[in-house]
Amino acid sequence: MTRVKYAVVFLFAAAAFFQAGCDIPLGTPEERMFKAAKNDYEHHTRRLLDQGISPNITDSAGWTPVMWAAAKDNVDTLKLLLDRGGLLELRNKKGETALHIAARWSRLDTVRFLISRGARTEALDRLAWPPMMWASMQGRTDVVTALAEGGANIEFKDSNGNTPLMMAANRGREATVKELLRLGVNPAKANKSGQTAAEIARQANYPQLADIIEGREPSKTQPRRKGKR
């Protein structure tokens, strides 16, 4: 039998295996739990939990099944894991919670769900940043809104005195800057270097964004630089 035929036979066998409702066939029970969480295999997750596999096991990076489900926006599997004892506030080796991960990966539905289940919006990672700082820096505007609606501090200051508005301004995240301003941040605040968000935007070569922060109409003669993605 050729390699192609072997591959076809294997695929049909694997499909039949899953259709029969059997467990994920490869790896240890713990490895299968991570695969199920990543791929939103709710049925397999339930079976592994019934077999006694903890929802709080960790991989080499300190990630739990809860974190992987959050990263992949697998809300149904995430709900199951939490209902069966999964912990929201466990940290990976970067100090991130599931909410940090969902915010960084722009998983809006998961962010809202985690907040509804009591996830701490002010939890700090190893950089002493809450999810709001990451969402602002990366231009995750909808996530910024959801975090703020969930009680996150829009005026948070890190060890250098930088705020979410400053992080968004430094990266040229115009939509996020506008949303933070709409939410009521104080654009006049300065960091420990004495810089305001507008000054940071100008230094980063976003002069029109600086004008927006200062409440002025952006000058049409100024060069406009696109925000980083």
Does the residue 65 lie in any domain?
yes
Q: Which of 84, 99, 117 is the C-terminal boundary of a domain? A: 117
| pTM of the shown model | 0.84
Q: Which of 117, 134, 151 is the C-terminal boundary of a domain? A: 117
Angle at 67 between CA 64 and CA 70, to 5 degrees: 150
What's residue 216's pLDDT? 80
Q: Are residues 125 and 224 in the same domain?
A: yes
Mean pLDDT, the chain cut into blocks of 10 residues (229 residues total): 50 45 69 96 96 97 98 98 98 98 98 98 98 98 99 98 99 98 98 98 98 82 48
Q: Are residues 80 and 126 in the same domain?
A: no
Q: Are residues 210 and 126 in the same domain?
A: yes
CATH no. for residue 196?
1.25.40.20
Does the residue 159 lie in any domain?
yes
Q: How far apart are CA 159 and CA 168, in angstroms?
A: 17
Q: Judge contact between 113 and 133, C-beta under 8 A.
A: no
Does the residue 18 lie in any domain?
no
Does the residue 57 lie in any domain?
yes
Joined together, the tokens standing for residue 191 give 């960091």
Q: Are residues 197 and 129 in the same domain?
A: yes
Q: Are residues 39 and 129 in the same domain?
A: no
Q: Which of 117, 147, 162 is the C-terminal boundary of a domain? A: 117
Does the residue 203 lie in any domain?
yes
Alpha-helical runs (H) found in the chain: 3-19, 29-39, 42-50, 65-71, 75-83, 98-104, 108-116, 131-137, 141-149, 164-170, 174-183, 197-203, 207-213
What's residue 195's pLDDT? 98
Does the residue 1 lie in any domain?
no
Q: Are residues 63 and 156 in the same domain?
A: no
What's residue 21's pLDDT? 42
Q: Are residues 141 and 83 in the same domain?
A: no
Q: Are residues 133 and 111 in the same domain?
A: no
Number of structural domains found in the chain? 2
Q: Are residues 176 and 133 in the same domain?
A: yes
Does the residue 148 lie in any domain?
yes
For 12, the 3-state DSSP assignment is helix
Q: Domain containing 152: what range?
A: 121-229
